[in-house]
């Protein structure tokens, strides 16, 4: 093996953001191979945190994961003062200031293509450049990004299946391989004494403990590893189990992908290998990882999707507004629509910060096509509640449900919340878990309590309008109104 080239810089700084792990980390690897000494920093960015409620599961997840990351860096550096510098301030001010204090020649970070992040990075790049320092960023959060997968005419894909086929043709062993951080970890620098403080407590950040969710969500790289090990034993059945919310079907790794506590390369490498061996579940799960890349490249090439429909014609739709619409939106948020599967799904979200993917489609369709409420209101509520909130995927999912996005479901495809309930939670196990007030209803009556016989309701202790609400809308009537509402885009 040829010797590694001599490092270009005397010292560098790795800025961790949505990549909270020490292994198989693109920016960390690049810094370690290009710098003789490497410092590491994470900034609790007040531009983001100051807008959040004081109890936020995601802040707690980040904080717990940083404790583990700090320990991992200290172990890799094999020095008691190695580890993570953690700041709580404005990131675009802190990073250039820390680069000056540490006298580094370059800052290394991984790409973040969200619009606010790009603006932040532009400010940081400008300030670093003014001081004669470089700012290098790398692909790490996705497998293939930005313009790596284009049509034969050099345009970005707007339909998933051809994108997926091109993705599978382009991805190779190199892109799926890990960055050997450990090989160069001896270049991790000891922190200056003034930066050797432990990771701040939640209280010192101004946040309250949330317990994340019940059962407790495992955090950090070790939590991601625990979930992935568990999923490996179930992955072959993923194609069959993924649609049933009462079954342990998903990987539950979405929040770990969001905050980078596990490498997407590792996940895709495993799924790709198993797919080639004919594993049906791995084939479907890899497709889900490709969807993730797809939505990120849509955000990169079409940033107008933040706040606007991917298909501009859909911005002409007249959504319901006013006090009645606000009351319906509140009922949806609080799980009081009178449709048990919708309400149970919202209860799961509100209680745990997680919602099963099938249910995300059901509740989104219900808000947009049963209640006639602008998809952007639902997108914003999900953004405030989901542990795994990721702008690209959240926006893509909501635009898919509202038919306004790329490769979205047709506008006339409207989920029936009762038939979805009967199909995907037939015995009502999921509904009973999150709506205990309906637990004693027989399965046939559970999906549409307003159609239950009076004796069934009485024996179950259900009083419609008191212990459980009447439906806030009639689905069949709402479907007709939706078709009329979408008439302005029939040609689209």
For the beta carbon of residue 230, count every other beta carbon within 10 angstroms. Answer: 15
Work out the mean pLDDT of the chain and round it to a whole number: 96
User: Does the annotation mark 285 as catalytic?
Assistant: no
Q: What's the mean pLDDT in 274-297? A: 98
* Catalytic entry in 357, 416, 422, 456: 357
The rounded percent of the chain whose pLDDT value lies above 90 is: 94
pTM of the model: 0.96
Q: What is the pLDDT of residue 6?
A: 81
Q: What's the mean pLDDT in 411-439? A: 97
* Catalytic entry in 15, 285, 291, 332: 291
Q: What is the pLDDT of residue 212?
A: 62
* Catalytic entry in 15, 375, 394, 395: 375
pLDDT at 165 over 70: yes
Q: What's the mean pLDDT in 299-303? A: 97
* Catalytic entry in 285, 332, 398, 400: 398
Read off φ and ψ for residue 330, nearest 5 degrees.
-65, -40
Query: pLDDT: is 472 or 7 the higher one?
Result: 472
* Catalytic entry in 182, 288, 320, 456: 288
Q: What's the mean pLDDT in 289-315? A: 97
pLDDT band at 2 (very low <50, low <70, confident <90, very high): very low
Q: What's the mean pLDDT in 399-412? A: 90
The rounded percent of the chain whose pLDDT value lies above 70 is: 98
* Catalytic entry in 148, 236, 319, 456: 319
pLDDT digits (tens, 9 = 90+) for 229-242: 999 999 999 999 99
Q: What is the pLDDT of residue 215?
A: 59
User: Does the annotation mark 400 as catalytic?
Assistant: no
Domain boundaries, the chain: 1-141, 142-177+222-301, 312-487
Q: What is the pLDDT of residue 83?
A: 96
Look up the CATH number of domain 1-141.
Answer: 3.40.50.620
For the beta carbon of residue 474, count every other beta carbon within 10 angstroms. Answer: 12
Whether 1-141 and 312-487 share one fold: the answer is: no
pLDDT digits (tens, 9 = 90+) for 335-374: 999 999 999 999 999 999 999 999 999 999 999 999 999 9
pLDDT at 36 over 80: yes
pLDDT digits (tens, 9 = 90+) for 421-430: 999 999 999 9
Q: What is the pLDDT of residue 407?
A: 84
pLDDT digits (tens, 9 = 90+) for 174-208: 999 999 999 999 999 999 999 999 999 999 999 99
pLDDT at 1 over 60: no
Q: What is the pLDDT of residue 211?
A: 72
Q: What's the mean pLDDT in 14-39? A: 98
CA-to-CA distance for 69 and 262, rounded, in angstroms? 12
Report the CATH fold assignment for 312-487. Answer: DNA Cyclobutane Dipyrimidine Photolyase, subunit A; domain 3 (1.10.579)
Look up the CATH number of domain 142-177+222-301.
Answer: 1.25.40.80
Q: What is the pLDDT of residue 44?
A: 98
User: Does the annotation mark 450 as catalytic?
Assistant: no
User: Does the annotation mark 229 as catalytic?
Assistant: no
């Amino acid at each position: 093996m040829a010797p590694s080239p001599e490092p270009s810089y005397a010292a560098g700084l790795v800025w961790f953001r949505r990549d909270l792990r020490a292994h198989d980390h693109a920016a960390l690897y690049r810094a370690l191979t290009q710098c003789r000494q490497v410092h590491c920093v994470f900034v609790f960015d007040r531009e983001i945190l100051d807008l959040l409620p004081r109890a936020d599961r995601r802040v707690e997840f980040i904080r717990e994961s940083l404790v583990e990351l700090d320990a991992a860096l200290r172990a890799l550096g094999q020095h008691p003062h190695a580890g993570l510098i953690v700041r709580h301030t404005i990131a675009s001010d802190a990073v250039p200031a820390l680069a000056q204090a540490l006298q580094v020649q370059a800052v290394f970070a991984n790409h973040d293509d969200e619009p606010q992040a790009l603006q932040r990075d532009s400010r940081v790049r400008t300030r670093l450049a003014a001081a004669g320092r470089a700012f290098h960023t790398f692909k790490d959060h996705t497998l293939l990004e930005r313009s790596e997968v284009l049509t034969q005419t050099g345009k970005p894909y707007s339909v998933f299946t051809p994108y997926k086929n091109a993705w599978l043709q382009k991805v190779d062993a190199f892109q799926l391989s890990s960055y050997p951080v450990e090989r160069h970890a001896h270049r991790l620098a000891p922190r200056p004494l003034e930066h050797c403080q432990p990771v701040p407590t939640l209280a010192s950040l101004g946040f309250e403990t949330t317990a994340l969710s019940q059962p407790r969500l495992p955090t950090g790289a070790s939590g991601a590893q625990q979930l992935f090990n568990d999923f490996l034993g179930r992955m072959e059945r993923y194609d069959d189990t993924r649609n049933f919310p009462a079954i342990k079907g998903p990987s539950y790794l979405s929040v770990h992908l969001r905050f980078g506590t596990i490498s997407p390369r590792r996940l895709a490498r495993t799924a790709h290998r198993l797919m080639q061996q004919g594993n049906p579940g791995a084939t479907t799960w890899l497709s889900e990882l490709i969807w993730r890349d797809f939505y990120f490249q849509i955000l990169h090439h079409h940033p107008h999707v933040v706040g606007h429909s991917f298909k501009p014609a859909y911005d002409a739709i007249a959504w319901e507004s006013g006090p009645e619409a606000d009351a319906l939106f509140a009922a949806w948020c609080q799980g009081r629509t009178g449709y048990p599967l919708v309400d149970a799904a919202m209860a799961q979200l509100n209680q745990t910060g997680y919602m099963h993917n099938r249910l995300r489609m059901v509740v989104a369709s219900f808000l947009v096509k049963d209640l006639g409420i602008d998809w952007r209101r639902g997108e914003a509520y999900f953004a405030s509640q989901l542990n795994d909130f990721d702008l690209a995927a959240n926006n893509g999912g909501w635009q898919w449900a509202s038919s306004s996005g790329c490769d979205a479901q047709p506008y006339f495809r409207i989920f029936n919340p009762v038939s979805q309930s009967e199909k995907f939670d037939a015995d009502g196990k999921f509904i009973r878990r999150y709506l205990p007030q309906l637990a004693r209803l027989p399965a046939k009556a559970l999906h549409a309590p307003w159609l239950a016989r009076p004796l069934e309701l009485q024996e179950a202790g259900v009083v419609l309008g008191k212990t459980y609400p009447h439906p806030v809308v009639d689905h069949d009537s709402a479907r007709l109104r939706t078709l009329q509402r979408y008439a302005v885009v029939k040609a689209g």
